Structure 1
Amino acid sequence: MSPAEPEEPEGEAAGHVVFRRESRGLEFDRVTFFTDAIFAIAMTVIVVGIGHPVLTNEDDAGDLAGELGDLWQEVFSFFLSFLVLGSLWKAHHQFYGRIVVIDSGLIWLNLAYLAFIAFLPFPTDLLGSYAQNPLAVAVYALNVGLVLLLELAVLERASRKGLFRRPMTPETRRWALIASSVPALVFLASIPVAFLHPTAALYSWLLIFPLVMVVRRLRPATAQEGA
């Protein structure tokens, strides 16, 4: 069996490169593997923000318990970001499972998306250290909000350019965009709230779950995603 030749991009002369899943798939897979690697690194690096306990008496369990208790904000920010990144990766994985073509525009949007994924450990560290500081909460919310807006942009481009295995109907597309916009709006709306009450802004992120459930219940059967 001869070695697979490099996949030739389509439309390169026009400046619009297209890679199809149905071909040898090397370039298509490189995009997904690169994305998975960025997610894996970000999900690992966020744990670095959890500080190391400093004990006056290394044999005192009470001293260690007190130091560990002081780290609760950092532990909370780690698990929050792990949940956020895990949810984003799952959605990204499902999205790429439904498309058969990647074009140059989608690659650039994906790179912008991944830039903010890679940046998330920094606001995670800020939030873990200064959870009651309104700016720390706002920076975290802005980072996640921008990731979610770019996720919307990726979905919109894939739908508009016909990159899905089965094209979305206008109704399916509209409801998919509505459902995807809810988390972005919640995070972005929490930014001004953070400057009034940081804790309230943190709790406001929980609104995502009931709001997404409401959207799913309101979405008609004819608008179910089937791309």
Structure 2
Amino acid sequence: MLDEAQSRSGSPGAPETADPAGPAADSATGVADAATRAEAEEIRLTRVEVEFAAAERLTFFSDAVVAIAITLLALELPVPHRGTSAEVLSWMLDRKMDYIAFFISFAVIGAHWMSHHAVFRWIRRLGGRVLRFNMIWLMIIVLLPYLTKLLTESDDDGAFIVRFGLYALAQAVSGVLFLLMVRDMWAYGLFRPGAPAKSIDGAQMRSLVMAGMFAISIPVALLGSWSYLVWIAMPVPLRVLGGRLRGWLGAHRPSSPTPETNVM
């Protein structure tokens, strides 16, 4: 009986043999885990690349639309007919408001684009309502050549308040939309790491001052052409209140609610 039990259980002094499939199985599991991690990292990088490409396309598209709007401004300028030098100069002087309005709109669109460029050069992906706000912002930019022509189309001061008010309202709304865009960019963590917060706050500050001054000029239009002085005085609050507004914007800057802020 003892011999039979020993034959079943093996020799009591014999060493236990390791399972040859154990190390191979562990190795296969490690390789599979590494492959899974590599695949997950590749998917993440692809997603980051696609998101960045989408943000870049929106930036390029916005630049193109702004460039077209500025070009349309020039196309709306009146061209003098044939005549002597004195006649041409007299003709141009009679239409001086058309040329003044062109320079005003060129400067305004340029200021809008500079703020947009200062912010969107640091965007890494889209999110929130940025795309929606940006499209409405572009719609207003495209309307500016029409609003510029409307501003100088008629010499009848009976419609001055409407013409002036529409132009100023468009600028004010454009500035507010830009502020909402930047706020969503901060809130959803759409900026690249290392984005210059002070520079972005400065772009917001300029848009805020522009929006405020254009909004103030609307009721001043009841006084007639004196309302243009509000536009001319725009550099004053930029100089006087610029630092305080930039500090206020920095103190009320929303933070991203997700850890994605540090991605890429």
CA distance in 1, matches of 2:61, 2:202: 29
Summarize the Cα distance change of 1:30–1:145 in structure 2 as closer, same or farther, 3 Å threshold: same
Is 1:134 equivalent to 2:161 in the alignment?
A: yes
Residue 172 of structure 1 and its aligned partner are, at CA, apart by 9.9
Q: Which runs of 5+ in 1 are unaligned?
A: 1-9, 11-18
Q: Which runs of 5+ in 2 are unaligned?
A: 1-43, 254-264
In 2, are the aligned partners of 1:137 and 1:202 still within 8 Å (CA)?
no
Residue 23 of structure 1 and its aligned partner are, at CA, apart by 5.1
Residue in structure 2 matched with residue 15 of structure 1 by the alignment: none
CA distance in 1, matches of 2:235, 2:193: 28
Is 1:204 equivalent to 2:230 in the alignment?
A: yes
- 2:126 aligned counterpart, secondary structure: strand
Residue in structure 2 matched with residue 124 of structure 1 by the alignment: 148
Q: 2:241 aligns with which of 209, 215, 218?
A: 215
- 1:102 aligned counterpart, secondary structure: coil
Task: Indicate the larger mover: 32-41 or 177-186.
Answer: 177-186
Summarize the Cα distance change of 1:50–1:178 in structure 2 as closer, same or farther, 3 Å threshold: closer
CA distance in 2, matches of 1:33, 1:24: 15
Residue 70 of structure 1 and its aligned partner are, at CA, apart by 1.2
If each structure's helix is expressed as a fraction of its own residues, which one has the higher value? 2
Give the letter aligned to residue 93 of structure 1.
H
Q: CA RMSD in A?
A: 3.2
In 2, are the aligned partners of 1:135 and 1:195 still within 8 Å (CA)?
no
Q: 1:40 aligns with which of 39, 60, 67?
A: 67
Summarize the Cα distance change of 1:173–1:160 in structure 2 as closer, same or farther, 3 Å threshold: farther
Is 1:193 equivalent to 2:220 in the alignment?
A: yes
In 1, are the aligned partners of 2:172 and 2:214 still within 8 Å (CA)?
yes
Residue in structure 2 matched with residue 159 of structure 1 by the alignment: 186
Summarize the Cα distance change of 1:153–1:34 in structure 2 as closer, same or farther, 3 Å threshold: same
Residue in structure 1 matched with residue 99 of structure 2 by the alignment: 75
Summarize the Cα distance change of 1:167–1:150 in structure 2 as closer, same or farther, 3 Å threshold: farther
Summarize the Cα distance change of 1:53–1:177 in structure 2 as closer, same or farther, 3 Å threshold: closer
CA distance in 1, matches of 2:203, 2:141: 22
Summarize the Cα distance change of 1:175–1:62 in structure 2 as closer, same or farther, 3 Å threshold: closer
What count of residue pairs does the alignment treat as equivalent?
A: 202
Residue 208 of structure 1 and its aligned partner are, at CA, apart by 2.2
Residue 50 of structure 1 and its aligned partner are, at CA, apart by 1.7
Is 1:101 equivalent to 2:125 in the alignment?
A: yes
* 4+ runs deviating over 4 angstroms: 170-179
In 1, are the aligned partners of 2:69 and 2:142 still within 8 Å (CA)?
yes
Summarize the Cα distance change of 1:97–1:171 in structure 2 as closer, same or farther, 3 Å threshold: closer
Give the letter aligned to residue 229 of structure 2.
Y
Q: 1:50 aligns with which of 77, 80, 90?
A: 77
Residue 175 of structure 1 and its aligned partner are, at CA, apart by 8.2
For residues 185-208 of structure 1, what are the alpha-carbon distances to aligned partners after superposition, in whole Å with 9 as ceiling and x for unaligned? 1101111111222x2211101232
CA distance in 2, matches of 1:153, 1:53: 43
Task: Indicate the larger mover: 115-124 or 157-166.
Answer: 157-166
- 1:99 aligned counterpart, secondary structure: coil
CA distance in 2, matches of 1:73, 1:172: 35
Residue 173 of structure 1 and its aligned partner are, at CA, apart by 8.9
In 2, are the aligned partners of 1:148 and 1:183 still within 8 Å (CA)?
yes
Identity of paired residues, percent?
A: 27
Residue in structure 2 matched with residue 7 of structure 1 by the alignment: none
Higher-Rg member (1/2): 2
CA distance in 1, matches of 2:147, 2:166: 6
- 1:101 aligned counterpart, secondary structure: coil
Give the letter aligned to residue 33 of structure 1.
F
- Give the TM-score, by structure 2 length: 0.67
